[in-house]
A and B are shown apart, each in its own frame.
Chain A
Amino acid sequence: MVEFKLFGIGILSWIVFLPIVGMIVVLLIPKSLTKSVKYVALMFPFIQMILCVVLWMNYDKFLPGVNTLEGFQFIEKFTWINVQALLWDGSVHIDYFLGLDGISMPMILLTSLISFVGALASFSVKKNEKGYYAMYLLLVTGMMGVFCALDFFLFFVFWEVMLLPMYFLIGIWGGKRREYAAIKFFLYTLFGSVFILVAMLALYFSSKDPATGLHTFNMLTLMDPQAIQSDSLLGGIGTNFRYLAFVALFIGFAIKVPIFPFHTWLPDAHVEAPTAISVILAGVLLKMGAYGILRISYPMFPDAAIYFIYPMAILGMINIIYGALCAMAQTDFKKLIAYSSISHMGYVILGIASTTTIGMNGAILQMFNHGTITAVLFLMVGVLYDRAHTRGLDDFGGLANKMPKYFGVTIIGFFAALGLPGLSAFISEAFVFLGGFQNETIRVITIISTLGIVLNAAYILWTTQRVFFGKLPERWGSITDINGRELLSVVPLIIIIIILGVYPAPILDLMSSSVNHLVSFVTEASGIVVGQ
C-alpha cells in the first residue's frame, strides 16, 4: 500500500489536526489584521478539503475494513500511552490509531465539504471573529477525529472534545435563547457520553488482545469474538449484560442522532445556533450518532444488535413520522428544518435496523445526502434571516418573483428533501425502504414508515407555498436576492445533490464492500441470518 505522508506525518493526521494549527494561527493574528481572520480561517478547511480529495482519488474501494486491519486504509498507528504492569494487572495500552474504511470515508468527505461550506457561511459573523473561528476550527478537528479514530479511547476523547467549542459557538454567537440551548445541548450529550463510557470500560475489562494478553481499547480487537473473555462481564452470546451494554451505547449514540425520545435538544440548538453552526450540527454532528452505531454497537455486539432490530426499527419509524408531523406544525423556518432533520435521520435508523446490505447502504448514503441537503436548507434560511431578521414562515409570501435565484436554489433543496426522483435523497430513501422490506421482522414497520414520504411532501410543499407563492407583503419590497458569496457556498452542494441523484455510484462504491462485509459479519457472528 502506498504511504501518504507529508513531512513524515500521515495524511489522516494532517486532516485531523490541520484545523488545530489553524486555530493557533487565527489566535495569533494581531488586532490590526482582524479583517483577514475569516480568510485565514477559510484557508484551513479548504486545504483539508483538497487533502480529502487526494484521499478519495487514492481510496481502494474493494477493501472491506470494518473488523479487518488489512481492510483499512491510510492507517496510522502509534503507541500513545503504554504503562507496563508493575505489581498487579495494571498495565494500560492506548494507541493513537487512525484509519479509513467504507463507513468512515463518505463521512470524511462530507465533513470536509460541510466544514468548508460552514466556514464560508460564517462570513456574516461580525462579533469577536477571532474567537469564533478558533472555536470553529477546534470543532472541525473534533469531528474529523471521531470519524478517523479506531481506538475507542481516542474516539471518546474526540467525541467529548467536540462539545466544548459547540457550547461556546451556540452560547456566544447564537440567538435570543442561546444560553438555554447551549447548556441543554451540552448536558444532553454529556449524559449520553456517560453510557458510552460505561460500555467502553466494560468492553475494555472484558477483552484481552490475543496477541499481547492485555486489555485493549483497539476497536478492531474488540470486534473479535475471540478477544472477549468468556468468563468476563460481557462474555458469551446473548447475555443480559451484553444487551445492557448495547442499550447503554445505543442511548449514548441515540442522543446525538437524535432518536425519539432524546431529540428535544435538537430544535432548541438548531434554532439558536448561528447559520454556519446549524449547518455543521445537521450536516455532520447528527451523523456521528449513526456512525457510532455502525462502527461500534453493531460489530461489537452483533448478537444484541440483531436482538434489538425490532425496537430500533420502531424508533426509526417514530422518528420519521413524528418528526414530519412536528415539522408540519412549525411556524419558524429553522425549527421546521430541525424537525425535518429528525424525520430524515429516522430513515437512517430504519436502514441500520434492517441489517441488510441494501438497507445499510441506503442508511449511509442517506447520512451523506441528508448532510448536503439540510446544509443547503439551513444556508437558505440563514440568507433569508440575514435580510429579513425574521424566520416566521407566515411573515413571507411571494418571494419567488422577488428573489428568483434564491427561489431556484431553495426549491432544489426542498425537492431533494422531499425525496423527488432525480435528486439524491430519493435513492437513499428508496434503498432504506427496500432493505427494510427485505427483512421480514420489520416489514410492517417499513410499510408504515413509507407514510413519512407523504407527510414529508406535505410540509415541504406547504412551506413552499407560504414562503414563495402568494402576495409579497409590502415590507419586503426592498429585499435583495442572494449574493455571490452565498451562492458560492451553496452551489457546490446543489451540484452534488443533483449528481448523486442521477448517478450515486461515486459514494455508493466507496461504501459497498465495507457494508457487505459488515452485514455478513454481524449476521454470522450473531448466528442469525436475516432476510430469508
Chain B
Amino acid sequence: MQQQILNSLSNFLPEATIVITLIACLVLDLILKRKSVSVSILAITGLIVSFYFVTQQTGLKESLFCDMIVIDPYSLFFKYLFIVSTIFVIIFAESSKEIKKSVHTNEHVTLILALTLGAFLMASSINLLMMYLSLETVSIASYILAGYTKNVKRSSEASMKYVIYGAASSGIMLYAMSMLYGFTGSMNIFEISSFLAQTDSSNPVVIVSIIMVTAGFGYKISSVPFHFWTPDVYEGAPIPITTFLAVTSSAAGFAVMIRFFNITFLESFQLGLNGSWQIIGSIKWTEIIAVLSVASMVIGNFVAIWQTSLKRLLAYSSIAHSGYLMLGLVVANQMGLAAMLIYLFAYMFMNLGAFYVVIMISNKLNTDEIESMQGLAYRSPFVCAAMGIFMFSLSGIPATVGFIGKFYIFAALINSDMIWLAIIAMLNSVVSLFFYVKVLKVMYLKKPLDDAESKISYSFGYNLVLILLAVPTILFGLYFAPILKFAESSVAMFGIN
C-alpha cells in the first residue's frame, strides 16, 4: 500500500503544483503585507506549470492512492478547463474594483487556488468519501470567497445563505452516501455498481439515495429545485467570484456528477453499440435528470426575463444552462457525454466573457443594473460589441461557439429519438434570446442618459483580456473541429471499455 501511494505521487504532480503554489502565495502575501499584483502572477505561473504537468498525463488511464482518484482523459479535460478558467478569474479579480476596494490584501488568490485544487479532485475521484471531501473543499473555499468583501452587507448575506444551503445539501448527500455504503458495503463506485447490477436494485433505499445524492450535486450545479441560493449568492458576491462559481465550480459539479451517475448505475463496463452505456434497467435515474433538466431550463429562462440586474440575469441564465447540460446526461451515451463536454467548453468562454464585461462596466458605472447601461454602445463601442458576441453565443446563434454546444446537445437527443426533449430545449433557447437581446437592446437601441458623460475608455490590458475571450467565442464557432476532437477523445473514462 505504501508503495502504491509513493508510486501514485508521480502522477499527482498537477495537484501537488497547485498546493505548492498555494503555500507560496500565502507566504508571499505575508511578506508583502499589501495588495500586490505579484501574488496573482505567482499563482498564474503555478497554474501554467500545473497545466504542463497535466499535458504530460495525456492518454493515461490509471487509478491512484488505492482507488481514491483516477487519471483518465475525462478528468484531464476538466483539469484543462479548470486551469484556464482559474487563470482568467485571477486576472478578473486583479481588474475588479470591488476586490481592490476590499479590506483584504491578496487572500482571494489562495482561496481561488484552494477551490481549484478541490475541483481537480472532484473531477477525478471514484470513491464516495473522496467525492464528498473534494466537494467540501470546493464549497468551503467558495463560502469564504462569496463573502470576501465583508464590509458590503449583501456580500456577507450571500455568504451566509450559501453556507446554510450548502451545509444542508451536503448533509443530505452524505446521508445518501452512507445509505449506499450500508446497502452495498463499498465506497468505491465500481464496486457499488457491480453490487447493484447483481442484486435486486429496485430496492427503495437505492431510489431514495439517488434522489438525495442528486440533491447534493444539483446544488453544486445549481439545478432546479436546488437553485434557490444561486441568484442571491451570484448577486451578492464580488463579480470575479460570481464568475468563478458560475464557471469553474459548476463545471466541477458536473464533472463529479457525470462520473458518479455514469459509473454507479452501469450494468456492465463494456460500451454498447453507438457508444451507449448499459444502464441498470430498474433504476430510472435518467428520467429524474430529464425532469430536473427541463425544470431548470424553463425556470432559469423565464425568471431571467424579469431581472433588472445584469448579474442576477446571468445567474438565472446559468441555471438554464445547467438544464441544457444535464440533457447530455439523459442521453446516456458517449455522444451525449461529448456534447456536454463541448457545451462546457463553449460555456466557459462565453460566460467568462459576459461576466468580464459586467466587471468592466460596473468598474466605471458602479452598478450592474441593466437600466444604467442605456446607450452604452455609443460610449464604449468595443466593450458592447464584445458583449453582443457573448450574448448571442449564450443564446446559441450560429457562428458562435454557443451554437456548437447547443447543436451537439440537440443532435445527441435527436439521435436517441428524444425529439420532444430536443424541441423543448430549442424553444427554451428562443425564450433565452429574448432576455439576452434585452441587454443589447438597452445598450444599442436606447439613447445614452442625459447626465452621462461621453466616452468611456479602457486601458489596453482590459481590452486584451476581452479579445482573448471574444476571439475564441467566434473562432471556435466557425471552425469547431478541434473542440470536437478534443471532446470526443476525452469521453474515455477510467474503467469503461
Chain A residues proximal to chain B, CB less than 8 Å: 80-83, 86-90, 92, 128, 156-157, 160-161, 163-164, 167-168, 171-172, 178-179, 182-183, 186-187, 190-191, 194, 197-198, 201-202, 204-205, 233
Contacts and interface: CB of A to CB of B under 8 A. Distances in A.
B128 interface: no
Chain B CB count within 10 A is highest, among A90, A161, A194, for A90
A171 B445 contact: yes
Contacts of A160: 397-399, 403
Nearest to B422: A198
Contacts of B429: 194
A190 B445 contact: no
Contact of A86 (B423, B433, B434, B489): B489
A90 B338 contact: yes
Interface stretch (B105-113, B134-142, B412-420): B412-420
Contact of B414 (A156, A183, A205): A205
Nearest to B392: A164
Contact of A198 (B334, B415, B417, B419): B419
Contacts of B481: 81-83
B168 interface: no
Contacts of A81: 479-481, 484
B182 interface: no
A330 B489 CA distance: 61
Interface in B330-351: 333-335, 338
Contacts of A161: 397-399
Contacts of B397: 160-161, 163-164
B335 A201 contact: no
A205 to B, nearest CB: 5
A191 B430 CA distance: 6
Interface in B457-490: 479-481, 484-485, 488-489
Interface in B263-304: 271, 274-275
Nearest to B481: A81
The 5 lowest CB-CB distance pairs between A and B, nearest first, are: A88-B275, A194-B426, A157-B398, A160-B398, A201-B414
Interface residues of B, number: 41
B437 interface: yes
A172 B414 contact: no
Contacts of A87: 271, 275, 334, 488, 491-492
Secondary structure class of chain A's binding surface, majority of residues: helix
B411 interface: yes
B410 interface: yes
A417 B299 CA distance: 48
6 contacts: A88-B275, A157-B398, A164-B392, A186-B433, A197-B426, A205-B414
A201 B411 contact: yes
A171 B441 contact: yes
A172 B433 contact: no
Contacts of A92: 484
A187 B484 contact: no
Contacts of A233: 417
B427 interface: yes
B82 interface: no
Contact of A183 (B411, B437, B489, B492): B437
A35 to B, nearest CB: 19
Nearest to A130: B381
A82 B378 CA distance: 41
Interface in B386-414: 392, 397-399, 403, 407, 410-411, 414
Given A160-B398, A190-B433, 10 more contacts: A81-B479, A87-B334, A87-B492, A156-B398, A157-B399, A167-B437, A191-B427, A191-B430, A194-B429, A201-B411
B254 interface: no
A60 B274 CA distance: 45
B411 A204 contact: yes
Contacts of B399: 157, 160-161
B444 interface: yes
Contacts of A179: 441, 445
Contacts of B480: 81
A156 B396 CA distance: 13
Nearest to A203: B414
Given A88-B334, A89-B274, A157-B398, A205 B415 contact: yes
A86 B445 contact: no
Contacts of B417: 233
A22 to B, nearest CB: 17
Nearest to B275: A88
A194 B423 contact: yes
Contacts of A183: 434, 437, 441
A191 B429 CA distance: 9
B444 A172 contact: yes
Contacts of B411: 201, 204-205
A157 B398 CA distance: 5
B422 A201 contact: yes
Contacts of A201: 410-411, 414-415, 422
B469 to A, nearest CB: 19
Given A82-B481, A161-B398, A171-B441, A88 B335 contact: yes
Contacts of A171: 441, 444-445
Contacts of A163: 397
Nearest to A154: B398
A128 B444 CA distance: 11
A105 to B, nearest CB: 25
Given A198-B423, A204-B411, A186 B437 contact: yes
B238 to A, nearest CB: 32
Chain A CB count within 10 A is highest, among B378, B392, B414, B429, for B414
A385 B338 CA distance: 55
A171 B438 CA distance: 11
Contact of B275 (A90, A156, A178, A198): A90
A141 to B, nearest CB: 11
A157 B410 CA distance: 16
Contact of B484 (A83, A191, A198): A83
A194 B430 contact: yes
B346 to A, nearest CB: 15
B336 to A, nearest CB: 11
Nearest to A159: B398
A187 B419 contact: no
Contacts of B274: 88-89
A233 B416 CA distance: 10
A131 B376 CA distance: 14
A178 B441 CA distance: 11
B304 to A, nearest CB: 15
Nearest to A245: B419
Contacts of A89: 274-275, 335
A198 B426 contact: yes
Nearest to B434: A187
A424 B415 CA distance: 47
Nearest to B417: A233
Contacts of B378: 128
Given A160-B397, A201-B410, A86 B441 contact: no
Contacts of B430: 187, 190-191, 194
A492 to B, nearest CB: 33
A160 B218 CA distance: 33
Contact of A172 (B419, B445, B484, B489): B445
Contacts of A168: 444
A163 B388 CA distance: 13
A89 B415 CA distance: 11
A200 B378 CA distance: 39
Interface string B137-181: 000000000000000000000000000000000000000000000
Contacts of B398: 156-157, 160-161
